[in-house]
């Protein structure tokens, strides 16, 4: 995942449309006049005052003056003064009805990061509450020891930690991101893609979880427009072509339904419901359907006063038009995790056209539009406070589950997995509703109930029938966990069964507590095996100081703690070997299929600071992408690339001829690598080896078999592989074969 929580000033901009001058040029020529910052602030002040007529808005005015002073002379690529960005973010919050303190913080949210004013200055002038909100939104300082991805994962982690203390942090961040997405077009295409992808992965799902549908829809449509511009334009054109017909159809449907509701004594407001493009496109993709087959392109929203009127209106709709099977959802009886409530149905309506109808009360509609923001807009009364607590229960659970996750990237992936995937809703035997990610198992459910229930689980019943623990839960399942009263604990295999990061973490913690000594031994063995298999080296050769350095990078103070973490699965052995310099992180993410071979092996390596040099690879050590390498300047034959631990290089006296080299980011060739496999000889051994190599789409270019008198077979084979990671996968598969004793690289 690539993350970039905030667009820097020099990369932001407004839309550039074909055939039009960029906004900056139009401003310079006087062809466009934009509202002044002062007029924008007046509009902001009026919006906040409409929701909070008794509030003291003087701090907002002082914040505007300070931000204007701090950002003086700073501009966006569009040519607008930079102050327009924080004012726009604050305006988005104000329209949601967020309180004046958060709006004040939104005006100031870029001041500590981009100007000479420090966070302490804001605390002194505006108080600790505003300063805390600004700090939660501000990015972490950049550390050179972190990669871009790790640093941005830390930013996301910090935001979640801050929003657990005050949810307004993420509301400010959503407003900030929404305005950046509205003005994304002047960025280079690569940055547009990265930011739009992150918006779809993190921010749009977060807005949905908080129930702020208006923000979610706009973020998704803007991301869709950036990532799939042709499909976006095509779908928009198709909808626009049908717009007049669609409006006429909706008008006829409303005119047909309204008198039927009145005849049943139901007072209702009926409106056509706009459908955002991304959701239509997603449904078309999911169902492999054309636009005409998507039922909710045409939609009506029915707003009534009481809950009983919702069900009465549903009866009228179904008596008037034939319901489409499997297209009914009752989110009133079973609200979504963000407390969204509504009845959804699809019917064959006027002229046999499919039509989606949403039915809800006016109060439900208010909450559905602004989600968690309703806590501030309708704050009076204990009911709003109770709903606010319910809305944030999921966040408190997540932060509790993730407390022991030390790696920021793992934290973010866990949040994405637990919160932002499709949900299934299941029931306890007492009728309580639990929501879990799609694909969750009874074990996930058991750990959601209580950690001890998970640890003592020995079986599960779904709808009164016994099921295996890897059963995938479905909406509406009634789940009963069978537990034992005696001493019991999880199995290591459960880590491959559970889906939620919460359950995985609890299982790991159990092994961490129960089997520390065993984990230390297991962790050492795992690292030894990976080092021996990939580089014919071991922990002793690497050295304790280097291992301890890596351990501290993972926030472990002692080697035993670190080995134990590897042993119980919190840290992957191959991940550690990567950091030691044996395998590159990017290569671990390669697909299992090797890229097509190219006829030349001259590319793939770059000499730092030098270009156009002949590159050869040392035949003594056969380096491949991911290996730590060094170059040797030959006389008249360019640079020869060797492994850093190659004996030829280690004994080289002319050290001045050694030069730093590095692998290109995306090598597109294969490399002949020799491996040696030791096994007990048996019939079919070679056939099994060949099958595994073929399944991995790897070629065997040479093979030799020798069988000793004790019936031990030694197989030497040369494989054409694309990277260390691909080689590791093949060797791991071979190691699992029946009667195989060991598999390792053959460095001669």
pLDDT tens by residue, 183-217: 887 778 888 888 888 888 778 887 877 778 888 88
* Residue 335 contacts residue 177 (beta carbons within 8 Å): no
Active-site residues, by number, are 113-114
pLDDT of res. 334: 79
Q: In what order do the strands lie in the sheet with 712-721?
A: 699-707, 712-721, 671-680, 740-745
Task: Provide the β-strand partners of residue 700.
Answer: 719
Distance between CA atoms of residues 456 and 503, nearest Å: 13
Strands 671-680, 712-721: pairing is antiparallel
In this structure, what DSSP letter does residue 8 have?
-
Distance between CA atoms of residues 514 and 397, nearest Å: 25
The radius of gyration computed from the CA coordinates of the chain, to the nearest angstrom, equals: 31
pLDDT of res. 293: 59
pLDDT of res. 46: 93
* Residue 100 contacts residue 45 (beta carbons within 8 Å): no
The closest alpha carbon to 67, from 10, 126, 8, 5, belongs to 126
pLDDT of res. 43: 92
Distance between CA atoms of residues 380 and 111, nearest Å: 33
Task: Provide the β-strand partners of residue 356.
Answer: 299, 346
pLDDT of res. 297: 66
29 membership: H or E segment, kind and range:
none
Q: Classify 506 as helix, strand or coil.
A: helix
Q: Classify 25 as helix, strand or coil.
A: helix
Distance between CA atoms of residues 224 and 201, nearest Å: 12
Please return the burial class of 589, using the count of CB atoms within 10 Å of its CB with bins 0-12, 13-18 and 19+: exposed
User: How many CB atoms lie under 10 A from the CB of residue 51?
Assistant: 17
Q: The tokens 């919190």 sit on which residue?
A: 570
Helix ranges (H only) for 183-242 are 189-198, 204-209, 213-227, 229-241
In Å, what is the CA distance from 716 to each residue of 193, 398, 568?
A: 46, 50, 33
Question: Is the pTM above the cut of 0.85?
Answer: no
Q: Which residues of the chain have pLDDT under 70?
A: 1-33, 78, 139-165, 241-243, 274-275, 286-297, 337-339, 369-423, 433, 486-487, 534-537, 578, 581-604, 606-613, 636-637, 665-669, 747-748
Distance between CA atoms of residues 539 and 639, nearest Å: 31
Residues 6+ apart with CB under 8 A from 579: 550, 553
pLDDT of res. 279: 79
Q: Which domains, from first to last, does the chain contain?
A: 9-227 (1.10.3210.10), 237-373 (3.30.460.10), 421-512 (3.10.20.30), 515-582 (no CATH), 605-663 (no CATH), 671-745 (3.30.70.260)
Distance between CA atoms of residues 390 and 167, nearest Å: 13
Distance between CA atoms of residues 207 and 212, nearest Å: 5
The closest alpha carbon to 443, from 454, 432, 452, belongs to 454
Between vectors from CA 585 to CA 579 and to CA 591, what angle results, nearest 5°?
Answer: 145
The closest alpha carbon to 642, from 656, 654, 653, 628, belongs to 628
In this structure, what DSSP letter does residue 515 have?
T
Task: Provide the β-strand partners of residue 615.
Answer: 639
């Amino acid at each position: 995942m690539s993350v970039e929580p905030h667009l820097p000033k020099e990369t932001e901009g407004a839309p550039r449309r074909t055939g039009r001058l960029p906004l900056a040029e139009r401003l310079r020529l006087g062809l466009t006049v934009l509202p002044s910052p002062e007029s924008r602030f007046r509009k902001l002040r009026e919006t906040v005052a409409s929701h909070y007529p008794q509030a003291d808005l003087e701090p907002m005015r002082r914040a505007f003056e300070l931000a204007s002073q701090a950002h003086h002379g700073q501009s966006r690529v569009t040519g607008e003064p930079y102050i327009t960005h924080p004012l726009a973010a604050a305006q988005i919050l104000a329209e949601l009805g967020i309180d004046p303190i958060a709006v004040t913080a939104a005006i100031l949210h870029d001041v500590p990061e981009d100007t000479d004013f420090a966070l302490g200055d804001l605390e002194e002038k505006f108080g600790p509450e505003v300063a805390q909100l600004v700090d939660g939104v501000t990015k972490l300082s950049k550390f050179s020891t972190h990669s871009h991805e790790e640093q941005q994962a830390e930013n996301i982690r910090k935001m979640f930690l801050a929003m657990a203390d005050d949810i307004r942090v993420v509301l400010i961040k959503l407003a900030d991101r929404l305005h950046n997405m509205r003005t994304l077009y002047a960025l280079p295409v690569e940055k547009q893609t990265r930011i739009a992808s992150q918006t779809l992965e993190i921010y749009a799902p977060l807005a949905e979880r908080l129930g702020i549908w208006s923000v979610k829809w706009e973020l998704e449509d803007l991301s869709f427009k950036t990532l799939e511009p042709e499909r976006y334009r095509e779908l928009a054109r198709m909808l626009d072509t049908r717009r007049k017909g669609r409006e006429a159809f909706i008008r006829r449907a409303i005119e047909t339904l309204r008198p039927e509701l009145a005849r049943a004594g139901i007072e209702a407001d009926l409106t056509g419901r706009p459908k955002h493009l991304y959701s239509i496109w997603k449904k078309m993709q999911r169902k492999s359907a054309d636009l005409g087959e998507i039922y909710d392109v045409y939609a009506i929203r029915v707003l009534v006063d009481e809950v009983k009127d919702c069900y009465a209106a549903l009866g009228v709709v179904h008596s008037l038009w034939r319901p489409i099977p499997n297209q009914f959802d009752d989110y009133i009886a079973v609200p979504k995790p963000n407390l969204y409530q509504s009845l959804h149905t699809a019917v064959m309506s006027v002229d046999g056209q499919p039509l989606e109808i949403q039915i809800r009360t006016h109060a439900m509609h208010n909450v559905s539009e602004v989600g968690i923001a309703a806590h501030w807009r309708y704050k009076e009364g204990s009911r709003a406070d109770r709903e606010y607590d319910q809305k944030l229960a999921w966040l408190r659970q997540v932060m509790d589950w993730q407390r022991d996750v030390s790696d920021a990237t793992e934290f973010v992936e866990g949040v994405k997995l637990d919160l932002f995937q499709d949900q299934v809703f299941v029931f306890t035997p007492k009728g309580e509703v639990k929501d879990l990610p799609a694909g969750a198992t009874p074990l996930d459910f058991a750990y959601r109930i209580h950690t001890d229930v998970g640890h003592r689980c020995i079986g599960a019943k779904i709808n009164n029938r016994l099921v295996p623990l890897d059963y995938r839960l479905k909406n509406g399942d009634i789940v009963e966990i069978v537990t034992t009263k005696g001493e019991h604990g999880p199995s290591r295999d459960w880590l491959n069964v559970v889906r939620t990061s919460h359950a995985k973490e609890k299982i790991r913690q159990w092994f961490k507590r129960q089997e520390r000594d065993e984990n230390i031994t297991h962790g050492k063995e795992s690292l030894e095996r990976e080092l021996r298999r990939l580089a014919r080296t071991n922990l002793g050769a690497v050295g304790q100081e280097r291992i301890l350095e890596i351990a501290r990078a993972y926030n472990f103070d002692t080697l035993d703690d670190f080995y134990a973490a590897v042993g119980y699965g919190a840290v992957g052995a191959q991940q550690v070997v990567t950091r030691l310099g044996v395998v590159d992180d990017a290569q671990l993410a390669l697909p299992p299929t090797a890229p097509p071979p190219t006829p030349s092996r001259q590319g793939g390596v770059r000499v730092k600071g030098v270009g156009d040099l002949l590159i050869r690879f040392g035949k003594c050590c056969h380096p491949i992408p991911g290996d730590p390498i060094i170059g040797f300047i030959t006389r008249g034959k360019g640079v020869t690339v060797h492994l850093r631990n190659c004996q030829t290089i280690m004994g080289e006296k002319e050290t001045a001829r050694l030069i730093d080299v590095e692998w290109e980011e995306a090598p597109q060739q294969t490399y002949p690598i020799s491996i040696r496999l030791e096994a007990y000889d048996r019939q079919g051994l070679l056939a099994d080896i060949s099958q595994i190599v073929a399944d991995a789409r790897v070629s065997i270019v040479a093979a030799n078999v020798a069988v000793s008198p004790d019936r031990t077979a030694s197989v030497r084979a040369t494989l054409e592989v694309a990277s260390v990671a691909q080689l590791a996968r093949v060797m791991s598969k071979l190691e699992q074969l029946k009667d195989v004793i060991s598999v390792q690289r053959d460095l001669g």
